[in-house]
Structure 1
Amino acid sequence: MDSRRLLRMSATALAAAGLILSGCTGGSDAAAPATPSSAVPPSPAAAPAALRGYYGQKLAWRDCGVPQFRCATLRVPLDYAKPEAGDIELAVSRVAATGPGKRIGSLLVNPGGPGGSAVGYLQGYAGIGYPAPVRARYDIVAVDPRGVARSEPVECLTGPQMDAYTQVDQTPDDATETNALAASFKGFAAGCAKRSGKVLPHVSTVEAARDMDILREVLGDEKLNYVGASYGTFLGATYAELFPARAGRLVLDGAMDPSLPAVDLNRDQTAGFETAFRAFAADCIKTSDCPLGTESVAAAGDNLKKFFRDVDAKPVPTGESRELGESLATTGVIAAMYDEGAWPQLREALTRAIDGEGSGLLALADSYYEREADGSYANLMFANAAVNCLDLPAAFGGPAEVEKAVPSFQKASPVFGAGLAWASLNCTYWPTPATGAPHRITAEGAPPIVVVGTTRDPATPYKWAESLADQLASGTLLTYEGDGHTAYGRGSDCIDTAINTYLLDGTAPKDGKRCT
């Protein structure tokens, strides 16, 4: 199991985003104009001289091969410090406002990750699944961030290499297993350097936020309106920090805390997964056939740990060449923590695995890693590591530091603590030095920014939303009292109404508003 800080989109959104992987290819160049007549015209003269060509470009919209959606390619500098050094191309997609009502502008969406395909998310979910009043008034737009999916994707390992990587024991019991785990992280990093050395130093969140400002201008919008989930909240907050006067209506759902160093983020997230597991276990033990027993939540946790120990000692068959060991089993369980809608699937998968048949948990793990049936992988985990390891210095300097930290991680989560502590070693051997550092984001001068937190969110703990809302000078906290990762569009009328009202007329919910 490899956390990469596990900042991922919700399970529902992830599944939707995975439906359309071939968009933005082929088609005619004939399309709607890049700047709708109702939008503010671009003003490239206001951009720095070296960037005016980027801010002044015209998008050539084309057919995506997906009804209603149009696609284009945005040019941005590889290195903002040296714009003359060359371009990279980012994939953009858009679905036009459906009406009725006056068009407000563009609404940029990002599903998280880092590494989640925003274009896939738009075409598979947001462009058709966002509330109708929002789709009526906005063009919904997505750009795959640099290094992600269709935008100069980071590549690291082949399919067979990734299969081997995901099965390495991440709760080492001795020096041999510790060395093997460290070697797997070193091999992953070396593969990224070999296959993606050009783009690897330039996939930071700051650079992705600067790309979004170019897109805002090219789309003809005076302000950036945005909905970001999970890691997308850090991207949106970073945009507001860099360009507060250009921030429009920003919704940051499932918020990160940018002030925390990597080790604290990882430990907090470990506690978040424990909270989510306890909610799952409390639900499970109410059923007579709960595979973790019906005694108590604590006993269910003990039984899950015993299961992990058992498959660590003796992996179970899955019906294919890969067996289910502890790493893949843990990833499968964690994958189901993102959305309570996956709990029945997890109960069934655990029941089968405990009986000696691991295909259900393997399928959950494969969905998390975005592994295809043919054994290939999307680049999500590659981009996830590349962005995270550039944004913050590594959590640990080596295995000895992890060993010292394991008890604190186990305190945060008796079930997942050890594995998530060792997974935090992933950036230690990264070939490109971090360019970011933990810091508070205030975004002084930005209009009201809505920060959404879910009380039992596994991947972005609720206290992160409280912290980010407090840091932002204009932050307002909207709380969903419930389970799962993120809140908008997941069944709460209260949450959806508050966010829709903000997006449509600019009225932010009262700070501290709570929903169920």
Structure 2
Amino acid sequence: MDTRRLLRTFATVLGTTGLLVSGCSKGGSTTSASGSTPAAPAAALQPYYAQHLNWRDCGVSGFQCATMKAPLDYRKPDGGDIKLAVSRKKAIGPGKRIGSLLVNPGGPGGSAIGYLQSYAALGYPAPVRARYDMVAIDPRGVARSEPVECLTGPQMDAYTQVDQTPDDSAEVSELGTAFEKFADGCEQRSGTILPHVSTVEAARDMDILRALLGDEKLTYVGASYGTFLGATYAELFPGRTGRLVLDGAMDPSLPSLEMNRDQTAGFETAFQAFAEDCVKKSDCPLGTTSTADAATRLKQLFADLDAKPIPAGDSRKLGESLATTGVIAAMYDEGTWPQLRSALAGARAGDGSGLLALSDSYYERKPNGTYANLMFANAAVNCLDTPPAFTGPDAVEQAIPGFEKASPVFGKAFAWAALNCAHWPVAPTGTAHRITAKGAPPIVVVGTTRDPATPYKWAQSLAAQLSSGRLLTYEGDGHTAYGRGSHCIDTAINTYLLDGTPPAEGTKCS
């Protein structure tokens, strides 16, 4: 189970991604996000800003696709290109076209094009789709943009089943070996691109795209990790920043250890909300007495599955790691709670297929046993962006009490999962830091009070860091808020995107 999955796209289970972990070891560096950026692109970058996008039919109704070039290494713009996939759906009217609206669903590693074509260009509020060309670019290393690859399907199956709550030195060693094999696989299959998939580089790619679309300033809606990407853009290019919506915000000032621990607490908050709802129902598989009893029963189920995995409907069995991932997947959206109740009931009766299906959706495992590159890109970006939460098992052991305090249910598993970048083959190129984006126009930061993956306090922090941040609060459950049924949230964001008026300070919706 990986825990730095900050958003799951609407195309899958509703809710995706995370892995708040880090990287270390040998490798190069990339351009820092700090400091100012010239008003015009450097001469060496001019060919990229002057290229022409050759739009073509995607084969998906109403969508166009193109390929954009960017420097593989921004420090050496003449040292080779990387090809990035772009898609758009033009404004449908009525009303005068405003420009382009770039969207990103998070991850890192989530396909922005997949999100655009399966949800955003169809499900965003109609007034916004009427007046904006809806646009997405798969970030470097993701999906259609020279994807990072690490493990084969069978290897990934084995990786996801490794025990992530080790009980003895042998299991600790086995887990460390699994992380090391994952990192080695990434280096062997994608060693050229691994040093060049940072968030800073992805933000610089977005500025090239902005220019090629003919927009003077970037208009953008980013969810989850996409908020970090958007804030990084504003930090690099405050003068080219337009209307930015950062929904389900990350706090860029937090080091990896603190971020992992906060996210652990976020999933505990979400579980408590689920349990409170569950115990009111006569068929709750975790009992009908109290949330404390529900937590005890879930922990016992995990322990039972650790001792003896159960059949799950195919050649795999459901053990503790896959079961934990399945439960986590359902925490992203309260609409998945009925599915989780059914899956838990099945597991308690010896049928692991329900939780396995949830886990597979989280990992984006396909029916044929192959995996999308989401988890590979996720680790590659996270391990490059910040130093690791832990560099060895001893540090994890010392931190477990703090993680278990944050979440008695998930704490131990989340602590060990944060070790995943200890063997990364490329040194981290970024550090945790505050982002102010001084000089940018108002930026709307959206936080959900019981968000499991990006805790509400992160949105509060980012809004306070940004010189022009404006916090919009959704009092509710689930990961992110825009386009998920709140008329209040949607109206506030639509108004901002359509006429530039941000919500009033302190606006809260429920």
Shorter-chain TM-score: which interval?
over 0.9
Change (3 A) 1:287 1:384: same
Instruction: Say which structure, 1 or 2, has more relative contact order (CA 8 Å, 6+ apart).
Output: 2
CA separation in 1, counterparts of 2:346 and 2:41? 59
RMSD of aligned Cα (Å):
1.2
Report the alpha carbon displacement of residue 15 of structure 1 after superposing the two structures with TM.
4.3
Q: Aligned to 1:85, what secondary structure does the other structure show?
A: coil
- 1:223–1:247 Cα contact (<8 Å) kept: yes
Aligned to 1:304: 298
4+ residue runs over 2 A deviation: 12-18
Query: Match for 1:391: what amino acid?
Result: D
Q: 1:241 to 1:220 in 2, by over 3 A?
A: same
Matched, 1:456 2:450: yes
Which stretches in structure 1 are left out of the alignment for 5+ residues?
Answer: 19-43
Report the CA distance shift for 1:332/1:515 in structure 2 as closer, same or farther (over 3 A): same
Question: What is the alpha-carbon distance in structure 1 between the residues aligned to residue 40 and residue 435 of structure 2?
Answer: 25
Of 477, 482, 489, the residue aligned with 2:483 is 489
Q: Which amino acid aligns with 1:353?
A: A
Correspondent of 2:403 among 406, 409, 423? 409
CA contact (8 A) 2:52 2:212 kept: yes
Please report how far the alpha carbon of residue 17 of structure 1 lies from its aligned counterpart in structure 2 after TM superposition: 11
Equivalent residues of 1:13, 1:111 under 8 A apart: no
Q: Please state whether the residue corresponding to 1:139 is helix, strand or coil.
A: strand
- Find out whether 1:205 has 2:204 as its counterpart: no
Q: Distance in 2 between matches of 1:428 and 1:172?
A: 17
Q: Deviations over 1:276-330 (max 9, x none)?
A: 0000000000001100001100110011000000000000101211100000000
Counterparts in 2 of 1:469 and 1:17: CA distance versus 1, 3 Å: closer
Cα 1:346–1:496 change in 2 (3 A) is same
Query: Paired residue for 1:6?
Result: 5
**CA 1:303–1:332 in 2, change beyond 3 Å: closer, same or farther?**
same
Rounded to whole Å, the distance in 2 between the matches of 1:494 and 1:225 is: 21
Asked whether the equivalents of residues 13 and 362 of structure 2 are also in contact (C-alpha less than 8 Å), the reply is: no
Residue 32 of structure 1 is matched in structure 2 by none
Deviation at 1:14, TM superposition (A): 3.6
The match for 1:31 is none
2:501 corresponds to which of 489, 496, 507: 507
Query: Counterpart of 2:294 in structure 1: which amino acid?
Result: A
Task: Give the corresponding residue for 1:89.
Answer: 83
In structure 1, what residue type is equivalent to 2:392?
G
Q: Note the residue ranges of structure 2 that are not aligned, 5 or more in a row.
A: 17-37
SS at match of 1:46: coil
Q: Deviations over 1:404-456 (max 9, x none)?
A: 00000000000000000000001111000000000000000000000000000
Inter-CA distance 15–278: structure 2 relative to 1 (3 Å threshold): closer
Match of 1:262 in 2: 256
Q: Which residue of 1 aligns with 2:492?
A: 498
For the 8 Å contact 1:17–1:123, the answer to whether it is kept is no
- Structure 2 residue 156 is matched with structure 1 residue 157: no
Q: Aligned residue for 1:294?
A: 288
Instruction: Tell me the distance in 2 between the aligned counterparts of 1:108 and 1:320.
Output: 40
* Number of residue equivalences: 489
Q: TM-score, normalised by structure 2?
A: 0.95
The residue identity in structure 1 corresponding to 2:244 is: L
- Alpha-carbon separation, structure 1, partners of 2:427 and 2:352: 39
2:105 aligned partner: 111
- SS of 2:313's partner is coil
Q: 1:318 aligns with which of 312, 323, 330?
A: 312
- Tell me: CA distance 1:352–1:45, structure 2 relative to 1, closer, same or farther (3 Å): closer
> Does the CA-based 8 Å contact 1:350-1:361 persist in structure 2?
yes
Separation of aligned partners in 2, 1:428 and 1:473: 35
Give the equivalent residue in structure 2 for 1:80. 74
Matched with 1:469 is: 463
SS in 1 for 2:82: strand
* 1:226-375 alignment, distance < 5 Å: 226-375=220-369
How many Å separate the matches in 1 of 2:376 and 2:205?
20
- 1:171–1:419: 8 Å Cα contact kept in structure 2? yes
Query: Secondary structure at the residue paired with 1:454?
Result: strand
State TM-score, norm by structure 1. 0.94
Which residue matches 2:31?
A: none
The correspondence for 2:436, drawn from 415, 438, 442, is 442
Shift of 1:6: 2.0
Query: Is the 2:121–2:134 contact (alpha carbons within 8 Å) kept by the matching residues of 1?
Result: yes
C-alpha displacement at 1:16, in angstroms? 7.5
Mapped partners of 1:308, 1:47: distance in 2: 54
Conserved in 2, the CA contact under 8 Å of 1:72 and 1:93? yes
Contact 2:8 2:15 (C-alpha < 8 Å) held by counterparts: no
